[in-house]
């Protein structure tokens, strides 16, 4: 009985270490029509920088993959974590922010094992700093079959 308790405890610990893929974009959402209108972002901004670290922009990737962004504050301002918004550019827009909630920090977004259906996906990321300066960045994810 004593050994059984130890084995159960070890198995429970090991199961915590296992991470499963999580849906970033569903097949149903990917089938929605593309958002209409210009997706351009503003020119030079003093707002925070947004950098796509993974996957490489416009390079095909297979799902699941690590979706990782870095936020770069400017001057003495800090990133306002509560201002981060991630939107899948479909009609209607799909707010992905709740799915990424646990992956968002002042450093950026680190969402491991993101499940995304094959295709080209456009995502807009918005972030503000503590001085209220906002930056929008439009990213394209290309997911191979």
Task: For residue 57, name the pLDDT band (cuts at 50, 70, 90).
Answer: confident
Residue ranges of domains in the chain, CATH in brackets: 21-143 (2.60.40.10)
How many CA within 13 A on the CB side of residue 130? 8
Q: Are 89 and 34 within 8 A, CB to CB? A: yes
pLDDT at 97: 98
pLDDT score of 2: 54
At residue 50 the predicted structure's pLDDT band, cuts being 50, 70 and 90, is very high
Residue 18 CA to residue 2 CA, distance in Å, equals 25
Indicate the range of 35-44, 48-57, 74-83, 115-124 predicted with least confidence. 35-44
Q: How much is the pLDDT for 30?
A: 96
Model pLDDT, residue 16: 44
- The model carries a pTM of 0.81
**Mean pLDDT value of segment 36-63:** 81
Q: For the chain, how many helices (H) and strands (E)?
A: 3, 9
pLDDT tier for residue 3 given thresholds of 50, 70 and 90: low
Q: Across the chain, what does the average pLDDT equal? A: 86
The DSSP bridge pattern shows strands 65-72 and 49-54 to be antiparallel
What's the rounded mean pLDDT across residues 26-32?
A: 96
The CA distance from 35 to 113, in Å, is 26
Contact yes or no for 143/122 (Cβ under 8 A)? no
β strands within the chain, DSSP E: 22-23, 49-54, 65-72, 79-88, 94-95, 104-105, 108-115, 119-129, 134-143
pLDDT tens for each residue of 78-128: 999 999 999 999 999 999 999 999 999 999 999 999 999 999 999 999 999
């Amino acid at each position: 009985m004593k050994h059984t308790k130890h084995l159960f405890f070890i198995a429970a610990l090991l199961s915590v270490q296992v991470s499963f893929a999580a849906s970033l974009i569903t097949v149903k959402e990917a089938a929605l029509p593309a958002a209409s209108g210009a997706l351009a972002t503003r020119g030079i901004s003093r707002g925070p920088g947004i950098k796509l670290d993974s996957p490489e922009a416009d390079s095909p990737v297979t799902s699941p993959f690590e979706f990782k962004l870095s936020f770069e504050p400017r001057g003495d301002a800090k990133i306002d974590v509560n201002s981060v918004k991630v939107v899948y550019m479909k009609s209607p827009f799909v707010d992905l922010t709740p799915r990424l909630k646990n992956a968002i920090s002042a450093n950026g977004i680190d969402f491991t094992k993101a499940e995304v259906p094959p295709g080209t996906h456009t995502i807009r990321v918005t972030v503000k700093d503590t001085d209220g300066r906002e930056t929008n960045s439009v990213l394209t994810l290309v997911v191979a079959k």
